[in-house]
Structure 1
Amino acid sequence: MFCNETALSTCTSSVGGILTPQRITVDASYGSAPRQYEYRGAWVIAASGEYDLASIAPLREALQAAARKYPMVVLDASAVTFADSAFLNLLILAHQTGPLCIVAPSRQVRRLFQVSGVDSVLKIRQTVTDATAS
């Protein structure tokens, strides 16, 4: 199966030597825009689903916009089911840009933080209230 890199929704497969277009169904949690809201003067971004190179853009845009507007950004990562190096890189860059706190990372995200060593660099709290209090 060959995928068009600029449009992940169309692919072709070779059936009997003939390339035929196919539709890819994408899970709603993959690449969807995160929920966002203000809490105690901080901007909270509640990420959910899977984050990799192909799906990181909505989260990146949300973090960049929040960093420009708010003195503190909180990322609720409790509903992140998969994250790879693109997610990790984004968080490190966001951390370098301004105050970022990660809240209640899922088991998979905690493991990624431990393996990479960023759990000692990023500010991690259990709740949004804890994150905005410190």
Structure 2
Amino acid sequence: MEQQVRVWPDDSGVRVIVCVGEFDAETLGGLKAASMAAIDRPGLRRIVLDVTGVTFADSSMLNVMILLLRTGRLVLAGTVPPQLGRLLDVTQAGQLFTTADTVEAARGL
């Protein structure tokens, strides 16, 4: 499956980054770029990472997620797919992330 990262236009201080496909060290460029742009945007109060469409993620993606987490503005949106859920469980990182069932719910946190 092809990997895709979409960034929604900022709305009320919230930036949404939608991830679809497989994310590893070789396919992480789009997510890294979108994440760095969000981190560098001081007016953002929330960064929403929609992970519903992630079919594979390794520690490279987890590292980017932790980088976003360190801003204090990250919320994971959507149902965490099984493979990403296993990665979060094995690394015990899952409990670190604030989650919401939908992008709309994440915007309101």
Give the TM bin, normalised by the shorter chain: 0.7 to 0.9
TM-score normalised per structure 1: 0.72
Match of 1:47 in 2: 19
Three-state SS of the structure 1 residue aligned to 2:70 is helix
**Which is strand-richer, 1 or 2?**
1
Match of 2:93 in 1: 118
- AA aligned to 2:32 is R
Offset of residue 39 of structure 1: 4.0
Q: Which runs of 5+ in 1 are unaligned?
A: 1-26
Offset of residue 35 of structure 1: 1.2
Output the CA distance in 1 between the equivalents of 2:11 and 2:77.
13
Match of 1:4 in 2: none
- Identical-pair percentage: 32
Any runs of at least 4 consecutive aligned residues in structure 1 with deviations exceeding 2 A, and if so which? 38-41
Offset of residue 44 of structure 1: 0.3
One of 46, 61, 67 as aligned partner of 2:33: 61
Structure with higher Rg: it is: 1
CA offset digits 1:28-49 (Å, max 9, x no partner):
x23x4x1111344310010000
Q: What CA RMSD, in Å, does the superposition of the two structures yield over aligned residues?
A: 1.4
- AA aligned to 1:118 is A
Q: Which runs of 5+ in 2 are unaligned?
A: none
- AA aligned to 1:122 is F
CA offset digits 1:80-129 (Å, max 9, x no partner):
00000000111111111341111122121122111111111111111112
Give the total of aligned pairs.
105
Residues 46 and 77 of structure 1 are in contact (CA less than 8 Å); yes or no, is this contact kept in structure 2? yes
Answer 1 or 2: higher relative contact order, Cα 8 Å, separation at least 6: 2
Match of 1:74 in 2: 48
Offset of residue 131 of structure 1: 0.9
